[in-house]
Amino acid sequence: MPYEIKKVFASLPQVERGVSKILGGDPKGNSFLYTNGKCVILRNIDNPAVADIYTEHAHQVVVAKYAPSGFYVASGDVSGKLRIWDTTQKEHLLKYEYQPFAGKIKDIAWTEDSKRIAVVGEGREKFGAVFLWDSGSSVGEITGHNKVINSVDIKQTRPYRLVTGSDDNCAAFFEGPPFKFKFTIGDHGRFVNCVRFSPDGNRFATASADGQIFIYDGKTGEKICALGGSKAHDGGIYAISWSPDSTHLLSASGDKSSKIWDVSANSVISTFPMGSTVLDQQLGCLWQKDHLLSVSLSGYINYLDKNNPSKPLRVIKGHSKSIQCLTVHKNGGKSYIYSGSHDGHINYWDSETGENDSFSGKGHTNQVSRMTVDESGQLVSCSMDDTVRYTSLTLRDYSGQGVVKLDVQPKCVAVGPGGYAVVVCIGQVVLLKDQRKCFSLDCPGYEPEVVAVHPGGDTVAIGGVDGNVRIYSILGTTLKDEGKLLEAKGPVTDVAYSHDGAFLAVCDASKVVTVFNVADDYSENNVFYGHHAKIVCLAWSPDNEHFASGGMDMMVYVWTLSDPETRVKIQDAHRLHHVSSLAWLDEHTLVTTSHDASVKEWTITY
């Protein structure tokens, strides 16, 4: 096996303001799952750095739930496809696939014997379906609503009951199987966001955007009480989750807090204030064994601490938007991975443990396009907000750090020794020395795309959309065109010098990597074919013998310089998402990232 996956650093949940986010828990209480884009992410609840990603949906996945048996997961996407797949094997084999209605699936519920599934959402002519998991044949009708259904739950004890909550401000109560509509519950004044039965089946709760939670009898549907009297929260409530012993309820609200309720005493046990900004709104929650989880609008997952409500036990951070670029750097003996996403966030990851955090302070306000580390240990990043930032990797704080404002949007940045940096902008090349602009090449006569600086520090290679790489030399504070044109096979998408400066690798949109020999006046050394689509990124291994390329075909190839036929092919490195950036931690460890917002480490053996 020439390659194997070493680590997966998963993405955060994809959240949307004003929309509740459902976290699923496995029946044994060991793991939880959520969705981001086309992926379902399964994480160990005690050690969330252990993660697994399921990417077989062709569309954005909205919700996923474990079957009570624990052997299967049902996940539903925006097109109305429901996939039921195996959790016991790494391959996650598909068991069944159904299309209960055409439109977004918003919630899923299983009966306790794992045989029936209820699915609700925004269909065209119906908003819900309930059917047998193995045949898809209907076991009842979900009627009684005239708007999108947000939530569904099934009583986990016989006699079965089913309850739904909808944007028509009502909940509906069903008896079955076959499930038949019994009556509508119209106690709420706004959208009903979440309905949940207690694990023992004696009661169910409904939570709504009007800030109220009502408790009902699980068997008859009679109203028992309203938690907290007239208001349970000051904002809309997006999610509720019962404690395993059915005595307490956890609620998550847009008023930026979560609360634990003692249901029989109708009192608040503890309130968890989560912050004061919009991003601290609570959109989802889960009570798993003794773990209390909540999801903020920032995408962060908070582990709540019953003994100290003011501060979470831990907060899982990461990226919830697609990652555009990454770079690696050793700091104090540890290797760190730095990743920049298309919403301007830059995160750093400990490459061994997966512990990560974002930089503090106000940083980039738009997509981070390229990052690299200069000789003085600063992270140099360029972004679509028209700036290049220099951020100290020991402080990891943006404030009071160097920012260079550019006239046009930068696309790529490269650094060399002596405090030099070269930035390629739209129709312009800028030379920076010691964080200041000292030279700009306007109207170069071609559209520059990517740049690399020779480790020796005197030569710069700039790749253009016209399919050529031009060589410049740095003379003091100017760039001089050496008049050298290296031809690629198509529009250049990335260039990289090997660490010893002996070779220049160029990849292009025509699926080819060309390597030039620097000492031999940039003569063509070798051509590497294999990708099925545009190649977007390149990285040289520290051994200067191998380099990796990643493309739109979701492939990563590790090439051997001396022999184009000897290559390691990582297929579906990030399934259904193209690889956006690569870097090497050491000679045998490759880091890849992609638009699925996750980072993966691979062990490569030759």
Tokens of 546: 């191998």
DSSP 575: T
Type of residue at 373 = V
> Which residues is 503 bridged to in the sheet?
517
Query: What are the E-state strand segments in 149-307?
Result: 149-154, 161-166, 171-175, 180-185, 192-197, 203-208, 213-217, 223-226, 237-242, 248-253, 257-262, 267-273, 282-288, 291-296, 301-303
pLDDT at 397: 87
Which is nearest to 441 in space by CA: 491, 389, 483, 478? 478
Q: Are 127 and 166 in contact (CB under 8 A)?
A: yes
Report which of 261, 226, 258 is spatially closest to residue 239, judged by C-alpha positions.
258
DSSP annotation of 482? E
Mean pLDDT by 10 residues, the chain (606 residues): 86 93 94 95 92 93 96 96 93 94 96 96 92 95 94 95 96 93 95 96 96 95 93 95 96 96 95 94 94 95 94 92 93 90 92 88 92 93 94 86 92 94 95 93 93 94 96 93 92 96 96 95 94 95 95 93 92 89 94 94 92
Residue 279 sits at φ, ψ, to 5 deg, of -70, -10
- Whats the size of the chain, residue-wise? 606
What pLDDT is attached to residue 470?
96
Q: What is the pTM of this model?
A: 0.90
| Two tokens, residue 324 | 């555009």
Which residues face 136 on adjacent strands? none
Tokens 């699915």 belong to residue: 119
Report whether 586 contacts 604 (CB < 8 A).
Answer: no
Contacts of 333 (CB under 8 A, 6+ apart): none
Give the separation between CA 450 and CA 463, rounded to whole angstroms. 5
The neighbour count for residue 245, using CB atoms within 10 Å, is: 9
Cα–Cα dist 522/445, whole Å: 22
Supply the Cα-derived Rg of the chain in whole angstroms.
Answer: 27
Report how far residue 314's alpha carbon sits from residue 309's, in angstroms, rounded to the nearest whole number. 12
- Map tokens 């990643």 to a residue: 550
Match 């828990």 to its residue by tokens: 25
CA nearest neighbour of 240 among 218, 215, 265, 273? 215
Q: Note the pLDDT of residue 417.
A: 93
- The verdict on whether omega for the bond into residue 177 sits within 30 degrees of 0, i.e. cis, is yes
**Residues 239 and 207: beta-carbon distance below 8 Å:** yes
CB 483 within 8 A of CB 439: no
Can you list the domains of the chain with their CATH numbers?
3-316 (2.130.10.10), 490-605 (2.130.10.10)
The long-range contacts involving 18-22, CB below 8 angstroms and separated by at least 24 positions, are 18/236, 18/254, 19/238, 19/283, 20/150, 20/151, 20/193, 20/194, 20/238, 20/239, 20/283, 20/284, 21/238, 21/239, 21/283, 21/284, 21/295, 22/63, 22/65, 22/107, 22/239, 22/284
Give the pLDDT confidence score for residue 398 in this predicted structure. Answer: 87
* Torsion angle of the four alpha carbons 480, 485, 490, 491, in this order, in degrees rounded to the nearest 10: 10
- 251 vs 218: CA distance, rounded Å: 19
